[in-house]
Amino acid sequence: MCGIAGIVAAQGRPAPSAALGRRMIDVIRHRGPDDNGLHCDGQAVLGMSRLSIIDVAGGHQPAYAAQDRVCMVFNGEIYNFCELRRDFERQGARFRTRGEAEVILHAYLRHGADAIAMLDGMFAIAIRDQRSNELLLARDRFGEKPLYYAHGPFGLLFGSELKSLLQSPDCPRDIDPDALSAYLAYGYVPCPLSIFAGVSKLPPGHLLRYRNGGVELRRYWRPSLATRTALDAGEAGEKLVELLDRAVSSRLVSDVPFGAFLSGGLDSSTVVALMTRHLSRPVKTFSIGFKEAAFNELADARRVARHLGTEHHELVVEPDAVALLERLVWHFDEPFADSSAVPTFLVSQLARQHVKMALTGDGGDELFGGYDRYRRLLAMERLGPLRAPAGSALHLAGAILPDPLGGRLQRIGERLRLPFRQRYLSAVALMRADTAAALNPAAGGPEHYRLPMLDAPGADLGAGGSALDRAVAMDLQSYLPDDILVKLDRMAMANSLEGRSPFLHPELAEFALSLPESLRVSGADTKVLLRRVASRWLPPPAISKPKQGFAVPLADWFRGPLLPLVADTLASRAFRERGLCDPKAARALLDDHVAGRANRDQALWQVTCLELWARRFLDTTAQEEPSCCCA
């Protein structure tokens, strides 16, 4: 695990400086404090900052091959590198190190860009091939590891985090209005957009080739949502046990201490249960909770920890919300408003006191049908042609009835009248279209519920499938890589901790997506087959526990510790003149919330994160990480 960054200058442009390369790496040193390296060849600079997990002593990067004419830096882990290495050795290859980098380079020398599809792992890879004078960038299948790039007359910039690119004077800095609108809708900037026009994220499962001043994008993997398993329920259960066990065991390869996040919910508990089958010592598990009972799952985690015999570490936290928010904004690089980033940061901070790597349950909800919105969506689909008239009736009733019931009925009515894609995306969205339009006239409206990457021909991976498959496809293309995995990567890396997600093992994921709807979502039940299988290892409360999510007491914070910050921010001259949000509309949200007329915590969080991001990345150079007291 590490951070990577680099520059390739266009033909005829001055050679990029080593000093710039060092700045690009230094600003993401938190991603890899153990080691660093820099390659300079007169036209390109590639650098890395390493968190040593595998081959601690011998895994230095950049790595070289072909008489040093091919150079590589990569961020992540390749879980099948031992199998690939054995295959290459049977073909006569000889290796000097025990690490992954040499195996990736050998695969590239033999198979070119097609080597990327051979890798099982989480990764962002940059290969500079001086033989053909090109750069190859690659990102893993699900987008576990980030990779930004900017292309222009100057050449190409890339990096694990946007702040690396911003070290270059060539990096574009104009806000992309489509990205801003998407942020107001979803609380994150969806791929391939970034908050800056001219800077992009490499989509998951894609390659980028830069040569002769041009960029070529190619998808090397797409999830299969059309294939259905021929196994019956019993056979599917046994197959799932086999694949879960293989996925978890493959993620345990490490030369440093490791553990797992444990919330007490189904996904993280299943991962820990399978870890115990492969380890001779107790698994180190980590949980955090807030003092407010509604935001504390420690009792659930404690129950599972006792049942599985883990070495459990837990902490009730009372964070300095203001200082922590400032720090989170710096780490995300872009406006990001999933408030569960707060507990993710805190549990990563706790885990890093004991281990260097932790397994997580991320990906289980998307692959096995765990979100309540899937269940609600299927219920709406069953209305068939009655959907639109039912929506109109509910909207009318909501206009008559008082809030909060009236408002809820109106929102359901509006959703029922939308086309399928917009109907589902409205369930993912954090902010309603009318609220977004009041804050920024360019946002909201009929285009509020859209994802840019779905508009390209053939980009909708769920087209023609069932309602559940189409919803899952949208989550795999945006919500999972752009929210869930961004949150895990940035918050773990902020603490120099590696996070691994066994549910995203390619074979396990493909199998989960092949399950019939009845084994994923059935009536009021979610994750049907996963619950059935996990009941072999977990106590009954962990199987039946409703999904709670990693929530924080935002509503109380905006009436307490965050109120002075937000009030001062909304009243500031910088906020008024910046023009990202209408000051009167933002102030109305705060007044409604403080007076108790409505709960506006999520909208206030989005507005606050946006303005703090602007201060950090538009008004300053964002060189230094803010300090924080989080205990």
pLDDT at 53: 60
Sorted by sequence, the CB contacts under 8 Å of residue 37 that are 6+ apart come out as 47, 48, 50, 60, 61, 62, 73
pLDDT of residue 629: 47
Question: Is residue 427 classed as helix, strand or coil in its secondary structure?
Answer: helix
pLDDT tens, position by position, 90-142: 998 888 888 889 999 999 999 999 999 999 999 999 999 999 999 999 999 99
Look at residue 184 and tell me whether its pLDDT is greater than 80: yes
- Determine the Cα–Cα distance for residues 173 and 622; give it in Å rounded to an integer: 13
Q: pLDDT digits over 339-363, tens only?
A: 999 999 999 999 999 999 999 999 9
Contact 164, 172 (CB under 8 A): no
Mean pLDDT value across the chain: 92
Which pLDDT belongs to residue 446?
A: 73
CB 148 within 8 A of CB 200: yes
The segment with the largest mean pLDDT, out of 88-92, 186-190, 254-258, 403-407, is: 186-190
Which amino acid appears at position 460 of this protein? Answer: D
239 sits in which H/E element: helix 233-250
Residue (of 426, 419, 424, 421) closest to 444 by Cα position: 426
pLDDT of residue 623: 61
User: What is residue 322's predicted lDDT score, i.e. its pLDDT?
Assistant: 87
Location of structure tokens 């409604």: 592
Q: How much is the CA Rg of the chain, to the nearest whole Å?
A: 24
Confidence category of residue 622, pLDDT binned at 50, 70, 90: low
Q: How far apart are CA 494 and CA 329, in angstroms?
A: 11
Residues taking part in catalysis = 2
* 549 or 324: which leads in pLDDT: 324
> Does the pLDDT at position 54 exceed 70?
no
Backbone angles phi, psi at 294, to 5 degrees: -70, -15
Q: How many CA atoms lie within 13 A of 201 on its CB side?
A: 29
Sorted by where each starts, the structural domains of the chain and their CATH numbers stand as 2-219 (3.60.20.10), 233-369+473-518+525-544 (3.40.50.620), 372-449 (no CATH), 554-617 (no CATH)
pLDDT at residue 552 greater than cutoff 50:
yes
Hey, is 202 helix, strand or coil? Answer: coil
What pLDDT sits at residue 1?
58
Report the predicted TM-score, pTM, of the whole model to 2 decimal places.
0.94
